[in-house]
Structure 1
Amino acid sequence: MMNKIKNYFRNLYRYCYMKLIIPMKRERHNPQYIAWGTAVGLFCGFTPIVWQMNVVFIIWFIARLFKFHFSLPIGLAWTWISNSFTNLPLFYLYYITGSIMLGQEIGGYDEFMGFFQNGIIEGIKQTFIFWGKPILFGSFVYMILFSVAGYFISYKYACRLRDKYAAKRLNNKNLEGAY
Structure 2
Amino acid sequence: MPKKFIRRFLPDHQTVKKNKALRIFGSVLHEPNLWHLNRRSAAGAFGIGLFFAFWPVPFQMWLSAGMAIPFRANLPLSVATVWITNPFTMPPIFYGAYKVGTTVLGTKPEHFEFQFSWQWVVESLTTIGPAFLVGCAICSVIFSVAGYLSLNWIWRLQVKKAWEKRKQARANKTQQA
Which interval holds the TM-score relative to the shorter structure? 0.5 to 0.7
Q: Pick from 145, 148, 155: which aligns with 1:151?
A: 148
Q: TM-score scaled to structure 2, two decimals?
A: 0.68
- For residues 7 and 167 of structure 2, what CA distance do their matches in structure 1 show? 21
Q: Which structure 1 residue ranges, 5 or more long, are not aligned? A: 1-20
C-alpha RMSD of matched pairs (Å): 3.1
What is the 5 A alignment of 1:118-157? 119-157=116-154
What is the 5 A alignment of 1:84-103? 84-103=87-106
2:6 alignment counterpart: 23
Distance change >3 Å, CA 29–CA 92, structure 1 → 2: closer
What is the 5 A alignment of 1:25-174? 29-61=37-69, 63=70, 68-108=71-111, 111=112, 114=113, 116-117=114-115, 119-164=116-161
Number of residue pairs aligned between Structure 1 and Structure 2: 147
Distance change >3 Å, CA 173–CA 73, structure 1 → 2: farther
Does structure 2 retain, via aligned residues, the 8 Å contact 1:46–1:142?
yes
Q: Which structure 2 residue ranges, 5 or more long, are not aligned? A: 10-34
Q: TM-score scaled to structure 1, two decimals?
A: 0.67
Does structure 1 retain, via aligned residues, the 8 Å contact 2:54–2:94?
no
| Structure with greater helix percent | 1
- For residues 24 and 161 of structure 1, what CA distance do their matches in structure 2 show? 15
